[in-house]
Amino acid sequence: MKIAVAGTGYVGLVTGVCLASKGHEVTCVDVDENKVKIMKNGDSPIYEPGLSELMKEHKNNLVFTTDYEEAYREAEVIFIGVGTPEKQDGSANLSYVFEVAKQIAQTVQRDCVVVIKSTVPIGTNDKIESYIRDKQKNKDVCIYVASNPEFLSQGTAVKDTLCASRIVIGVEEVFPGEVLKKVYEKFDVPKLIVKRRSAEMIKYASNDFLALKISYINEIANLCEIVGANIEEVTEGMGYDARIGHRFLNAGIGYGGSCFPKDTKALNWLANFNDNEIRTIRAAIEVNENQKFKLIKKAKKYYDDFLFLNVAVLGCTFKPGTDDLREAVSLVNVPLLLEDGANVRIWDPVGMENFKKKYPNKIQYCNSIEEAITDADICLILTEWEEIKNFDLRKYEKLMKKPIVLDGRNCYQLEEVKKTNITYDSIGRYTVNPQ
Ligand code: UGA
């Protein structure tokens, strides 16, 4: 089928490339000329395992352009995968989605289905459909709007799309549902056809449930520290109950990224806007905000302040497998350390270039974990990169001025740390070699 995709961020580009891999003729549109140039050269502008390879393999089915007219005019299906960033009040900014809708209304010359992949508040698909139908230049063509939220995670986006847990299709009529079934014909995964508003809600309710699960387990972890239980043993025991499951029970210093923080706030805003309250989500947000300060609070047990201290920060992305810093806990912790006068040394395998753009000065960017921890007075682990998990614990002992490691992602087994002299304080577990 002839498909156009608006926006080449994580959602748009991964969707476009995966659809091309199933034989569709896909044109990806972006306003950013520089990005389009990179993609035309066969490279991916984002760091996502497997994406460049798939782009290269299916380059004959892929076109990249800034020319939306050309892309939308004859498309049978147009996916909208542009960003819906958070506004000051917590609501979702829909201006990019509406901008694309306007372009579609002005250019489309055949019946087509516009598919909203971006995460949008409940009722937005209805508004977009009315908006397009109202503004459409060629009144002879019929434009339908369908909701098709994505459930991909950064770092596993290609796999999450090709082997999705489910494909949710939200439609009000039979025709767009049939078209989307054809688009996803070759995806051997469960497909669910629901009403548009339900599809929009499935996306928010899923993300917010996962955020809630993380905040819940973080609170349990905090209590474990007080009462002497071990969160890892607790979650292992809980997870065997199939109703609970083992996944997304990793306690830490809070969730980040471009989705959970934004989507929890957006649902909370939507509830308030409708004179309603969604107290569980509000609690998840509050717990997460506090959790980000967990390591700084722990550090105060060892030092009154950070003035002139060498502080090693390992990991700055919001999770491993991505160079994305959006809502990363490093963006809260590092400024606090700097304000307090610390000499901050950061190591991250892929995130440092982006961090440097925000903090070009004052921070020492290190090429290795060894370099970051040498002569450090304390070390904070913020992202659970494999390189950190596999790092030889003896080196902390050997290289640091004082081997105090505060681990916000529970990277090490307590039994292993016990074999060293490191003072090791993690989340929801007892401190090894307390001072
Ligand atoms: C999330 C969802 O997992 C996807 O299903 C969804 O499609 C996506 O948002 C989206 O809406 O676009 P993503 O933000 O890429 O995906 O990352 P996650 O793997 O969900 O992690 C989010 C944050 O939660 C990270 O900071 C991670 O460290 C944290 N987390 C995750 C925990 O603290 N504990 C866990 O057990 C799991």
Is 136 touching ligand 1 by the criterion CB < 6 Å?
Answer: no
Rounded percentage of the chain residues whose pLDDT exceeds 90: 95
Cβ(119)–Cβ(264) under 8 Å? no
Same domain, 304 and 255: no
Same domain, 341 and 236: no
Atom of ligand 1 nearest to the CA of 256: 26
Measured by CA distance, the residue closest to atom 6 of ligand 1 is 151
Q: Is 84 exposed, middle or buried (0-12, 13-18, 19+ CB in 10 A)?
A: buried
**Residue carrying the six token digits 């395998």:** 349
Is a pLDDT exceeding 90 seen at residue 48? no
- The SS3 assignment for 144 reads strand
- In this prediction, residue 92 carries a pLDDT of 85
Is 216 touching ligand 1 by the criterion CB < 6 Å?
Answer: no
DSSP label at residue 310 = E
- Ligand 1: centre distance to CA 172 (Å): 30
Atom of ligand 1 nearest to the CA of 257: 14
Name 128's Cβ contacts closer than 8 Å, sequence gap at least 6.
97, 98, 101, 114, 116, 145
Mean pLDDT of 21-50: 94
- Ligand 1: centre distance to CA 179 (Å): 30
Is 154 touching ligand 1 by the criterion CB < 6 Å?
Answer: yes
Is 252 touching ligand 1 by the criterion CB < 6 Å?
Answer: yes
Does any domain span residue 262? yes
Total domains present in the chain: 3
Q: Is 232 exposed, middle or buried (0-12, 13-18, 19+ CB in 10 A)?
A: buried
Mean pLDDT of 20-34: 97
| Structure-block tokens of residue 413 | 């087994």
Q: CA quadruple 195, 198, 203, 206: dihedral positive or negative?
A: negative
| Structure-block tokens of residue 336 | 């606090």
Same domain, 317 and 240: no
- In this prediction, residue 37 carries a pLDDT of 95
**Residue carrying the six token digits 């996502």:** 48
Same domain, 384 and 315: yes
Average pLDDT of the chain is 96
Q: Is beta strand 363-365 parallel, antiparallel or unpaired with respect to 191-194?
A: unpaired
- In this prediction, residue 256 carries a pLDDT of 98
Atom of ligand 1 nearest to the CA of 252: 33
| Domain of residue 281, CATH code | 1.10.1040.10
- In this prediction, residue 212 carries a pLDDT of 98
Does any domain span residue 431? no
Mean pLDDT of 97-126: 96
Does any domain span residue 356? yes
- Candidate from 10, 154, 206, 295 with most ligand 1 atoms within 8 A of CB, to mutate: 154
Nearest C-alpha neighbor of 428 from the set 213, 239, 231 = 231
- Ligand 1: centre distance to CA 371 (Å): 30
- Candidate from 18, 267, 316, 319 with most ligand 1 atoms within 8 A of CB, to mutate: 319
- The SS3 assignment for 378 reads strand
- Ligand 1: centre distance to CA 213 (Å): 11
- In this prediction, residue 292 carries a pLDDT of 98
- In this prediction, residue 49 carries a pLDDT of 87
Same domain, 127 and 168: yes
Domain boundary among 194, 222, 245: 194
Q: What's phi and psi for 425, nearest 5 deg?
A: -120, 120
- First-to-final CA distance of the chain: 65
∠ CA 34-321-347, rounded to 5°: 90
| 27 sits in which H/E element | strand 25-29
- In this prediction, residue 12 carries a pLDDT of 96
Domain boundary among 145, 163, 194: 194
* Residue 86 pLDDT level (bands cut at 50, 70, 90): confident
Does any domain span residue 306? yes
Atom of ligand 1 nearest to the CA of 263: 11
Strand partners, 65: 29
- In this prediction, residue 434 carries a pLDDT of 92
Mean pLDDT of 23-34: 96
- Candidate from 206, 258, 259, 409 with most ligand 1 atoms within 8 A of CB, to mutate: 259
Is 153 touching ligand 1 by the criterion CB < 6 Å?
Answer: yes
E strand map for 173-252:
191-194
Largest CA distance in the chain: 77
Measured by CA distance, the residue closest to atom 28 of ligand 1 is 319
- Candidate from 86, 207, 209, 291 with most ligand 1 atoms within 8 A of CB, to mutate: 207
Measured by CA distance, the residue closest to atom 18 of ligand 1 is 153
Does any domain span residue 434? no
Mean pLDDT of 325-348: 97
- In this prediction, residue 394 carries a pLDDT of 97
Phi-psi region of 248 (alpha: psi -120 to 50; beta: other; left: phi over 0): left
- In this prediction, residue 187 carries a pLDDT of 96
CA distance 162 to 20: 11
Is 319 touching ligand 1 by the criterion CB < 6 Å?
Answer: yes
* Residue 250 pLDDT level (bands cut at 50, 70, 90): very high
Mean pLDDT of 330-345: 97
- In this prediction, residue 47 carries a pLDDT of 82
| 54 sits in which H/E element | helix 51-57
Same domain, 115 and 51: yes
10 Å Cβ neighbour count for 287? 19
Is a pLDDT exceeding 90 seen at residue 110? yes
Question: What is the tens place of the pLDDT at every residue in 200-245?
Answer: 999 999 999 999 999 999 999 999 999 999 999 999 999 999 999 9
Is a pLDDT exceeding 90 seen at residue 3? yes
Question: What is the tens place of the pLDDT at every residue in 145-186?
Answer: 999 999 999 889 999 999 999 999 999 999 999 999 999 999
- Ligand 1: centre distance to CA 204 (Å): 13
Same domain, 92 and 240: no
- In this prediction, residue 171 carries a pLDDT of 98
Is 84 touching ligand 1 by the criterion CB < 6 Å?
Answer: no
Is a pLDDT exceeding 90 seen at residue 32? yes
Same domain, 210 and 261: yes
Does any domain span residue 35? yes
Same domain, 33 and 111: yes
Is a pLDDT exceeding 90 seen at residue 46? no
- Ligand 1: centre distance to CA 153 (Å): 6
| Domain of residue 298, CATH code | 3.40.50.720
Does any domain span residue 80? yes
Name 316's Cβ contacts closer than 8 Å, sequence gap at least 6.
325, 328, 330, 334, 346, 348, 351, 352, 355, 382, 383
CA distance 157 to 150: 10
Mean pLDDT of 262-271: 93
- Ligand 1: centre distance to CA 325 (Å): 13
Helix axes 231-239, 196-227, angle to 10 degrees: 140
Is 325 touching ligand 1 by the criterion CB < 6 Å?
Answer: no
Tell me the catalytic residues: 259
Same domain, 93 and 214: no
Does any domain span residue 435? no
CA distance 81 to 64: 15
Measured by CA distance, the residue closest to atom 31 of ligand 1 is 248
Domain boundary among 291, 325, 342: 291
Q: Which structural domain, as residue segments, surrounds residue 269?
A: 203-291
Is 207 touching ligand 1 by the criterion CB < 6 Å?
Answer: yes
Is a pLDDT exceeding 90 seen at residue 26? yes
Helix-then-strand count for the chain, H and E? 19, 14
Same domain, 230 and 177: no
Same domain, 224 and 268: yes
